[in-house]
Amino acid sequence: MNIRYAVIGTGALGGYYGGKLARVGKDVHFLFRSDFEYVRENGLQVDSVNGDFWLKEINAYRKSEDMPFSDVILVCLKTTTNHLLPELLKPLLHAGSIVIMLQNGLGVEEDLSARMPELSIAGGLAFICSNKIGPGHIQHLDLGKLILGSYKDCEPEILKMVVNDFLEAGIPSEMAPDLNLARWQKLAWNIPFSGMTVVLNNDTEQLMTNESTRILCREIILEVIAAANACGASLSELLADKMIDMTRMMKPYAPSMKLDFDFRRPMEIEYIYSKPIQIAREAGFEMKKVAMLEKQLLFIQESW
């Protein structure tokens, strides 16, 4: 079976992962917003630590109504626009379509399933440092691993085929036996580093160079791990030191939330902070440090 892919949101994630698939000849169709005209005329440029490439001609669309039915739909939008998903997805769906929520945070699959209960839904976690730096121009700085897991009514064989397509495209990929566990693991990095880079207006290198902020980031990671365990995810506290060490070795990086802050765009506070805090509280655990960070981010955003 040759899978037809649709990429909804061709930014830092969609442009990189979709671009890598298209580069090795996969059938990929990209939804653009502001970049449509530019990409139609100039193609998609990806600058990557693993080798730059340029896709001169790609299947670019301004509206999902103009796109073909797709077997696998990669949702790479920021979660701040998830209210648009029913309208965007419906023209792409056939009876066997799978929607993969390649987004940060907790609860994105649940909320989409509540809006569109007939959907087959999977989740995707991208462990990557990448940014959109211009029209049709993606910069991949470091990492890139992709983890996929079923949420509802997904044929395991189809997801395995998707993983194999990504592997063929040169992207380290694997199946997650427990999607909830994988989401909490990703949050253990996203929660401290996304928020702290905004609140302190700096990048990951500065957070790791300064002893006080390095200690605080580790304490927040440990709190996320404790919340995950209260919610049945079973994460080891050893993950905290592993993530600190990984971040110290990374190239200096401004997470997507920091870029949203810099450009005064809505930040993904709901799914990265508010939802995990709520879910942990319902399980009997209070994320006190994370709740403080959430309130600081809300204050910053409401002050614009």
CA–CA distance, 269 with 119 (Å, rounded to integer): 25
User: Could you say which of 20, 78, 132, 186 is catalytic?
Assistant: 186
Whether 160 is catalytic: no
CA angle 100, 102, 185 (to 5 degrees): 115
C-alpha 283/C-alpha 228 separation (Å) is 10
Give catalytic residue positions: 186
